[in-house]
Amino acid sequence: MTFDSTRLNQRAIADEGGWEALEADYLPAGAEGRVYKSDEGDGLTVLMARFPAGYVEPRHVHHDMEHWGVVVEGEMHAEGRVSGVGDYFHAPIGVEHGPFSYPNGCTVFVTMRGQTGMQ
């Protein structure tokens, strides 16, 4: 979807379908996402990420990207804290973070700015 800066942009995605494998050099197989907005030269990517029960995202750092997230379903365990529905996180550029674990599965709304490395 190309975004028009002169009007409200909306995109509807049905509950079924629309999920694709999330691929990035730091992500093990198994995570899925729905990309709402890909970087169109403005450095902004917006997506919903879904992690299956038992998934562990290893400790990592992004040298060219920062990201924010809000848990919308399940729990995210990271750095001694359990984040639940409505909880927020921010990972600045160059700051090592994780590991993140999702013992019962989790869905997170994510916004990224910079070079995401996502495919």
Q: Tell me the average pLDDT of the chain.
A: 87
pLDDT in tens, 13-48: 555 467 899 988 889 999 999 988 887 788 898 999
Q: Please state the domain extents for the chain.
A: 20-114
Q: Is the pLDDT reported for residue 108 higher than 90?
A: yes
CA angle 86, 26, 11 (to 5 degrees): 50
In this prediction, residue 25 carries a pLDDT of 84
At the fourth CATH level, the homologous superfamily of domain 20-114 is Jelly Rolls (2.60.120.10)
In this prediction, residue 26 carries a pLDDT of 85
In this prediction, residue 94 carries a pLDDT of 93
In this prediction, residue 119 carries a pLDDT of 42
pLDDT in tens, 48-68: 999 999 999 999 998 998 999
Q: 71: which residues sit within 8 A by CB, 6+ positions away?
A: 83, 84, 85, 86, 87, 88, 106, 107, 108
Mean pLDDT of 89-102: 94
In this prediction, residue 13 carries a pLDDT of 56
